């Protein structure tokens, strides 16, 4: 078979693909057809260094911190407790606090700074097509909540103190004062976070 106007079609062996008349490596062809599902599952987190932050539900504060990290966490359907454990360890050891020389060289575990975790499925929003984002890469609540809790528990164990949170699945109001500002977006995948 031949390819026409950007469509991929097999030609002979299933390992050979044609694209506009030329052959391409199977991995490229698979990535073209499958898109992001080709890549391993990732737990996504936005890390913001803050002077203070709080989260409230219906006017009631559910969690607040002083200097530390505000963590917005998203979960994919294929994520596992291992992803949560490894990501929590990575966040706790992330050196994004300043030392005496003003260099980002200290971690949560070094400074005694706090962490506030908020679940946020909208981190997986995809607006490539149309104007309304699709959230089909976000895990369903029944799968996401236990992994969110696993992340919070693992972070609390690593820090040796409770970690305040938002309320999973609720409409939340988050307020923060960025410090720096320092904001990181991290996707984690196995085997190395």
Choose, from 10, 82, 122, 183, the residue flagged as catalytic: 122
Positions of E strands within the chain: 9-11, 13-19, 22-24, 43-57, 60-65, 68-74, 97-98, 104-106, 114-119, 173-188
Instruction: Give the position of tokens 């938002």.
Output: 166
Dist CA 185 CA 193 (whole Å): 13
Choose, from 48, 120, 158, 165, the residue flagged as catalytic: 120
Nearest to 172, CA basis, from 77, 64, 93, 76: 64
**Quick check: is 120 catalytic?**
yes
Choose, from 97, 121, 158, 188, the residue flagged as catalytic: 121
Question: Is the omega angle on the peptide bond into residue 106 within 30 degrees of 0, that is, cis?
Answer: no
- Which residues are the active-site residues? 120-122
């Amino acid at each position: 078979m031949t390819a026409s106007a950007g469509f991929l079609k097999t030609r002979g062996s299933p390992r050979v693909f044609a694209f506009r008349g030329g052959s391409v490596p199977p991995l490229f062809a698979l990535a073209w057809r499958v898109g992001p599902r080709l890549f391993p599952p990732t737990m996504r987190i936005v890390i913001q260094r803050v002077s203070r932050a709080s989260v409230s539900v219906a006017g009631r504060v559910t969690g607040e911190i002083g200097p530390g990290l505000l963590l917005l966490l998203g979960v994919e359907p294929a994520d596992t407790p291992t992803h949560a454990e490894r990501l929590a360890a990575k966040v706790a050891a992330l050196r994004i606090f300043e030392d005496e020389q003003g260099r980002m060289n200290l971690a949560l575990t070094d400074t005694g700074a706090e962490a506030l975790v908020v679940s946020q499925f909208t981190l997986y929003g995809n607006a490539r097509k149309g104007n309304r984002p699709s959230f089909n890469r976000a895990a369903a609540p029944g799968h996401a909540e236990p992994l969110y809790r696993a992340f919070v528990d693992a972070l609390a164990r690593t820090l040796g103190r409770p970690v305040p949170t938002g309320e999973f699945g609720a409409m939340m109001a988050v307020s923060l004062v960025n410090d720096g500002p320092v904001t990181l977006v991290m996707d984690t995948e196995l085997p190395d976070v």
